[in-house]
Structure 1
Amino acid sequence: MKIVIIGGGPGGYVAAIRAAQLGAAVTLIENKYLGGTCLNVGCIPTKVLLHTTELLDVLKHDAKELGITISDYHGDWPKLQKRKTKIIKKLVGGVNGLLKNNGITKIMGTAVFVNAHQIKVISDNQDEINNAATVIDFDFAIIATGSKPVIPPIPGSNHPDVITSDTALSLDAVPESLGIIGGGVIGCEFASIYNAFGCKVTIIEMLPEIVANMDRDIVKPLKEKLLKDGVDIFTSTRVESIQESAGGLTVTTSSQTGEKTITAKKVLLSVGRKPELSTLNLDLAGIKTARGAIVVNQKMQTNVPHIYAIGDCNGGVMLAHVASAEGILAVETIMGKRSQIDFKTIPYCVYTKPELASVGLTEAQAREAGYDVKVGIFPMAVNGKAMIMGETTGVVKYVTDAATGEILGLHMAGPRATDLIVEGALAIRLEATVAELMATIHAHPTVGEALMEAAHAVDGHAIHLMR
């Protein structure tokens, strides 16, 4: 069984390894760097920077309270950039080692469909490699080409000081000021990073709230923290133009309150991502697309039965862990194994301070779906471990079906939220009830106790809350 995988990101390389484990002859084609956006200009580098900003926040606000006296400290941006590069290099090297260990053939270059059963590879210098190895015959192909930042049609968005998330990770120096267009996950994470390093940050969001896909009760603590730290946030605000000015760049916005201008040295475009399909020649393979994404069924299969598409390129949930799960699903389907993904259990995470994490239905979504909803909320301010850590901002919130007690959603803001959300994902996957969560002993003292308390709070029985 010959399987060709196009793209070496968290979807492609995971699919390649799983296919090799199941006995397939696997060729992986990558046109830029192993690990894709996630390892190189996405998940990993942003979290490296965010970890340091979290420590800076502790030193700035909590050091004395925690019994630490430091006479002088400062964020060292160049040194942090070196650390980021070191971690990326180590992880990418690890992926390369795993490919070798599993006997996977790796080819660096751009994959282009010749027809529905052949792919040719073009080298980095865009000259075709003229030997037999560059035209690859395959039994099955998996497309995992990922996505790229959306550049909105805003006048002035092509200015050199208007940057994307890719560039924002590797600036030589921290700008004096930064305007961020888009208050989603990426925008808020970059706001936290640059604000911690002394940059004046302004978020401009067209929707009524930042991080609009998450439950309002957990987004509120993040918004309050950003505002407290000096980040300006303008919601329900549309960007009309970006122009060069004496102070850097002037961003002209409009809202119900009228027109407003914001000046910043650099402007970050953070309005989303779109599938990267530009070099594939999908038409030659007969692969259908819709709204700029490859059309797939529940098994990630395209309209061409032996070609699959996983991760961002199929226009679904654009998260690295979803791409990896879809890669395994596609490979196991190809190899004749029963496989499935429960898309109700996808965790969504924001690695700010406080961290946000969410799985399942929000309260609003559950009510819209017709459920008789009961909610349990427990504040981090009452959790002993959160007090010890000095991170008492946030809440744990369960959304449940009042009739059955089934957990429909778990939403968290606070310390270790992105690690603890797996408990909610598993609970939803197993159709667990609030009673089953309450009956599960949680270790003390841990932040995880707040999950048990929030389960008790659904029926008004939280032990550590005043009645």
Structure 2
Amino acid sequence: MDSYDVLVIGGGPAGYVAAIRAAQLGFRVACVDAFERNGKASLGGTCLNVGCIPSKAMLDSSEKFEMITHEAADHGIEVDGARVDLGRMLSRKESVVDKLTGGIAYLFKKNKITSFHGLGRLVRQDGDGWIVDAAGTEVRAKNVIVATGSQPRALPLAPFGGNIVENSGALAFEQVPGKLGVIGAGVIGVELGSVWRRLGAQVTILEALPGFLLAADDAVSKEALKQFQKQGLDFHFGVKITDVKQDESGVTVTYEEKGNAVTASFDKLIVSIGRVPNTQGLGAEAVGLNLDERGFVKVDAHYRTNLPGIYAIGDVVGGAMLAHKAEEEGVAVAELIAGQAGHVNYDVIPWVIYTSPEIAWAGLTEKGAKEQGLKVKTGQFPFSANGRALGHGDSRGFVKVVADADTDRILGIHMVGPNVSELIGEAVGMMEFGGSAEDLGRTVHAHPTLSEVVKEAALATDKRALHM
């Protein structure tokens, strides 16, 4: 029986990063992963195969099409007869995924990580280690890291299948739907709705909550909703789905809105109402691994479960279901196993929505800071006063800085506008080191760049913005 220092169950962002970091630290490492794409083993989990990466490829392609058909003329560029070759667009998406998933396989080989394709299951304790069924082969591991991720949560009235799809199905439509329904106005729903709206679909988004992006700063969510509605996305909030029926031609959804019963018909329906942990088949019950009432693995602050030598990270432990959060937990747990001080600062994890305009934030919202009893000051600066944004042709949105009124420490930064997925990195770095609005405002930013808006928003917390 082969023996390993560390065995990782799951090859997504949490699992593959944990495996690589553990190997870097000198451990003998194996990873067992069951994910398949196009009938073949494919490392990288949901994120690389059917989530983060392919969705961003489609967002970029659809945004380029919209630029050519709706915005190029403003730049003096006339384009006649532009059309979408959806098959070619999907093929490009697949090639991007192939490169990245193949890259993970290369990194495993480079770091001498043994890879098993199939399901991983906890079998029994064995002295100071564990016996794990790695895709039909029993192996021994001193330490086991559970990183099995999550899967889309289905709506009981609308099980996945046919014209009712989750994120992976929504990235593989064979033709642009005439009418597309989306249940859930979260990150996935809005991003995928944006893709198909740009390509020509009429998109209706149904959300049970009373408002849009309630986790974001109020100013950001209001601005984003205004921009999306201007683009043609049709939002309905506070709705209750009462019936869903489908046939070969499409899907009919009945819902209650403001006390009225409404029926809508769609060619396709995307259901994006959250995700549930992948713990079925893990063997948790057989070995006594503690799960909570929703099926997430219970862990302490150091990712330890109730069983010695078994750790858990990523989506399967709950919290923010973000690939970058999972990756950092993968690094931290490997270092903790090695006796180092692995740590993740959950207070400054960035959130990004890759729509147009993009949305990004980190830290506390203004409302959240006040609810904690903090005295705050805020500064806001628009992209419409930024030379690079105007030259680029996209000056929508703004950056908002929330700082402690007494200490000037940055509590949160919130953005909606062009390329804010890249701008948020500076904010996270500044917050990670306890930086102040003064620090950010006095940092020299290149001109002309979009990043100057971040500097100006920091200066605006003391009413010192230079260009407004």
CA contact under 8 A between 1:180 and 1:268: conserved in structure 2?
A: yes
Counterpart in the other structure of 2:72: 63
Q: Which of 121, 124, 134 is the equivalent residue of 1:112?
A: 121
Match of 1:77 in 2: 86
Moved more, 70-79 or 218-227: 218-227
Q: 2:140 maps to which residue?
A: 137
Q: 2:332 aligns with which of 329, 334, 353?
A: 329
The match for 1:434 is 437
Distance, in Å, in 2 between the alignment partners of 1:266 and 1:458 is 46
Kept after mapping to 1: 8 A contact 2:163/2:246: no
Whether 2:206 is the aligned partner of 1:204: answer: yes
Contact 1:247/1:263 (CA < 8 Å) preserved in 2? no
Instruction: Check if 1:415 corresponds to 2:418.
Output: yes
Q: CA deviation at 1:255?
A: 2.5
What does residue range 276-287 of structure 1 map to in structure 2 within 5 Å?
Answer: 276-287=278-289
Match of 1:262 among 255, 261, 264: 264
Name the CA distance, whole Å, in 2 between partners of 1:359 and 1:283: 37
Residue by residue over 1:117-164, the C-alpha shift from the partner in whole angstroms, topping out at 9 and shown as x without a partner, is 110133xxxxxx4xxxx111110000111100001222x445621111
2:147–2:315: 8 Å Cα contact kept in structure 1? Answer: yes
Give me the TM-score of the superposition, normalised by structure 2. Answer: 0.94
What secondary structure is seen at the aligned counterpart in 1 of 2:193? helix
State the one-letter code of the partner of 1:41.
V
Shift of 1:252: 0.9
Map 1:289-438 → 2, pairs under 5 A: 289-290=291-292, 291-438=294-441
Question: Do the aligned partners of 1:443 and 1:449 also contact (CA within 8 Å) in 2?
Answer: yes
- 1:181-200 pair list within 5 angstroms: 181-200=183-202
Aligned equivalents of 2:50 and 2:249: distance in 1?
Answer: 29
- 2:69/2:79 contact within 8 Å kept: no
Larger mean Cα displacement after TM superposition, 68-77 or 187-196: 68-77
| 1:49 alignment partner in structure 2 | 58
**Contact residue 160 and residue 166 of structure 2 kept, 8 A:** no
Q: Percent identity?
A: 39
2:101 aligned to 80, 92, 100, which one?
A: 92
Q: Counterpart of 1:89 in 2: which secondary structure?
A: helix
Aligned AA for 2:212?
I
Q: Which amino acid aligns with 1:64?
A: A
Shift of 1:299: 1.3
3-state secondary structure, aligned to 1:212 = coil
Instruction: Give me the whole-angstrom Cα distance separating, in 2, the residues matched to 1:456 and 1:67.
Output: 36
**Deviation string, structure 1 residues 302-357 (Cα, Å, up to 9, x no partner):** 11131110100111211000111001111100011112111111000000000000
Contact 1:118–1:137 under 8 Å retained in 2: yes
3-state SS of 1:70 partner: coil
Query: How far apart, in 2, do the equivalents of 1:370 and 1:100 lie?
Result: 51
User: How many Å separate the matches in 1 of 2:433 and 2:404?
Assistant: 15
- Whether the aligned pair in 2 keeps the contact of 1:221 and 1:354 (CA below 8 Å) is no
Tell which deviates more after alignment, 302-311 or 52-61: 52-61
Distance 1:93 1:240 in 2: 44
* 1:235 partner letter: F
Q: Which amino acid aligns with 1:119?
A: V
Post-superposition offset of 1:249? 1.8
Q: Give the corresponding residue for 1:126.
A: none
RMSD: 1.4
> Which residue number in structure 2 is paired with residue 125 of structure 1?
none
Using the size of structure 1 for normalisation, the TM-score is 0.95
Q: 1:75 deviation in Å?
A: 2.1
Counterpart CA distance in 2 for 1:215 and 1:434 is 18
Letter in 2 for 1:301: R
Which residue of the other structure, out of 116, 121, 132, is the alignment partner of 2:134? 121
Task: Label 1:244 to 1:98 Cα distance change in 2 as closer, same or farther (>3 A).
Answer: closer
Question: Aligned partners of 1:459, 1:136: CA distance in 2, in Å?
Answer: 61
Q: CA deviation at 1:297?
A: 1.0
Amino acid in structure 1 at the alignment position of 2:258: Q
Partner of 2:155: 152
CA distance in 1 between counterparts of 2:66 and 2:19 reads 40
Asked whether the equivalents of residues 34 and 96 of structure 1 are also in contact (C-alpha less than 8 Å), the reply is yes
- AA of the residue aligned to 1:384: G
Number of aligned residue pairs: give it.
454
Residue 245 (structure 1) shift: 7.0
- SS for the counterpart of 2:47 is helix
Query: Paired residue for 2:45?
Result: 36
State the alpha-carbon separation in 2 of the partners of residues 337 and 70 from structure 1. Answer: 58
CA distances 1:59-88 after superposition (whole Å, capped 9, x unpaired): 233211112111221222111100011111
Q: 1:14-59, CA deviations, whole angstroms, 9 ceiling, x for partnerless residues? A: 1111001100000110112300000000000000000012212222
What are the Cα deviations for residues 168-220 of structure 1, in whole angstroms up to 9, with x where unaligned? 11121121111000000000001110001111100001112222221121222
**CA deviation string 1:367-396 (max 9, x = no partner):** 111111211110111111110111111110
Report SS of the residue matched to 2:155: coil
**What amino acid is aligned across from residue 67 of structure 1 in structure 2?**
G
For residues 9 and 246 of structure 2, the distance between their equivalents in structure 1, rounded to whole angstroms, comes to: 40
What SS is found at the alignment partner of 2:13? coil
Aligned-partner Cα distance in 1 for 2:248–2:139 = 55
Q: Which residue of 164, 170, 173 corresponds with 1:171?
A: 173
Shift of 1:106: 0.5
Against the structure 1 CA distance between its residues 418 and 368, is the aligned structure 2 distance closer, same or farther, given a 3 Å change threshold? same
CA offsets 1:256-285 (integer angstroms, 9 cap, x no match): 242212211111101011111111111222
SS in 1 for 2:74: coil
CA distance in 2, matches of 1:166, 1:367: 39
Find 1:9's aligned residue among 2, 9, 12. 12
The whole-number CA distance in structure 1 between the counterparts of 2:214 and 2:84 is 31
